Amino acid sequence: MALKLWRKPLDADQIKVERGRVIIIEGRCKGCGYCIEFCPEKVLIESPKLTARGYHPPEVAKPDGCVNCGLCSIICPDFAIYTVAIQE
């Protein structure tokens, strides 16, 4: 049986996490769901509404949870999503 240990760096409270805002271009989205699946913070969910082409685009469920990693924009095959850094 494996023992899983969780370690936290000593300076974890001093590390500033950059926040971001997710921008979705619904007209380009084909509803593949890659961005929802690969988001490390689980910020996105599938929207119940349909686009003009009949797809369910992603929707931002936790707007303050985005860490501006850009993984959603990297994984999107249609370039329908990107993040912008929030200036504090």
What pLDDT score was predicted for residue 2?
62
CA distance 85 to 83: 7
pLDDT score for 26: 93
- Separation of first and last alpha carbons in the chain: 45
What the chain holds in terms of domains, given with CATH numbers, is 29-85 (3.30.70.20)
Q: Residue 1 has what pLDDT?
A: 55
C-alpha distances out from residue 72 to 10, 15, 86, Å? 30, 23, 17
CA distance 79 to 40: 19
Determine the longest span between alpha carbons in the chain, in angstroms.
51
Measured between alpha carbons, how far is residue 39 from residues 63, 68, 75, 83, 88 in Å? 13, 10, 10, 12, 23
pLDDT at 8: 77
What tens-digit pLDDT sequence spans the chain (88 residues)? 566 677 777 787 888 878 999 999 999 999 999 999 999 999 999 999 999 999 999 999 999 999 999 999 999 999 999 999 998 6
Specify the pTM. 0.78
Instruction: Take residue 61 and report the two structure tokens written for it.
Output: 């469920």
